[in-house]
Chains A and B, each alone.
Chain A
Amino acid sequence: MSNPIIRIHDISTDTIIDREMTDEEFAQYEADQAAEAACLAAEAEAKAAEEAAKQQAFNDAVAAAVAAALAAQQTPATTSEPVVEEPVVTQE
């Protein structure tokens, strides 16, 4: 398999050369690509962790708010019997 083609434009002589990478250049090119991919993967991982942390913080806030609302709705403990209201019937 041939190596990738590169272009070099020497503007001091206005010459353009399209040629195949040497094996040494190709090895460096692949190493650079791998390093860049690793950098991007690390960046993506950090971003995903940040998003997960934001989501967890949101979930915690929602859970706390729900718990507070439920606590506010709870009837205080009492010994009396619950009062049953009779329906009001009206006649015309």
Chain B
Amino acid sequence: MALIQVPPAQTGGMTLLATHTLSGATSTISGISGSYNQLYGVIYGVTNATADGQFSLRCNGSTTEHTTVSYTTAAVQGLNAAIYYLMRTSTGAMTRTDANNAFTFTISNYASSSNYKPITSHGIYSGSSYQAWAAGGYFSNTAITSLVFVNSGGNFSSGTVLLYGVK
């Protein structure tokens, strides 16, 4: 009778790297370790102070090296260049003062210095009324060491980002 040797289970898991409170015109998580395989983020309770706008993620602060296809049930959809759109706020869609929202994002291969980095995100906002989805990536061979969150509508009033490193 032949014996089949089963390899031992690989160790892995998620490590909470940061609990970041969104604040200001731009809000940055820097000093991200490159010792993980993937970054996973959870964002919730986002509001901003001034006007409706676009909530975006900029890897390493770049405004020229992203592309996104995005869609929300509020009939806002399209292909966006330059920055990565996580969601949008507008009248009838997500109200900028409504903290009832939650999003997740994943960035794979983020520590690579020789390949691009795919990004996906999705979420829900304004209670249970709307969903948002976006996919794209960071077309740079530079390792990601910082994430910059921006809302074109003005300063963040609130919001939390939980950033995990995934082995």
Question: Which residues in A have their C-beta under 8 angstroms from that of B17?
Answer: 11
Q: How many inter-chain residue pairs (CB < 8 Å) link A and B? A: 67
Q: How far is the CB of A15 from chain B (nearest CB, A)?
A: 9
- Chain A proximity mask over B1-32: 1 for CB below 8 Å, otherwise 0: 00000000000000001101111111111111
Report, as a range, how many residues of chain B touch the other chain. Answer: 20 to 34
In the complex, whether B155 has a CB less than 8 A from a CB of chain A is yes
Q: How many residues of A contact B (CB 8 A)?
A: 23
> B63 on the interface (CB 8 Å rule)?
yes
B25 touches A21 (CB 8 A): yes
CB-based contact B54/A4 at 8 Å = no
CB of B83 within 8 A of chain A? yes
Binary per-residue interface labels of chain B (81-98) against chain A in the complex, 1 for a CB within 8 Å, 0 otherwise? 111000000000000000
**18 additional A-B residue pairs with CB within 8 Å, beyond A5-B25, A32-B83, A39-B80:** A5-B23, A6-B26, A7-B24, A7-B26, A8-B28, A8-B30, A9-B18, A9-B20, A10-B30, A11-B31, A11-B163, A12-B32, A12-B33, A36-B54, A36-B83, A36-B152, A37-B152, A43-B78
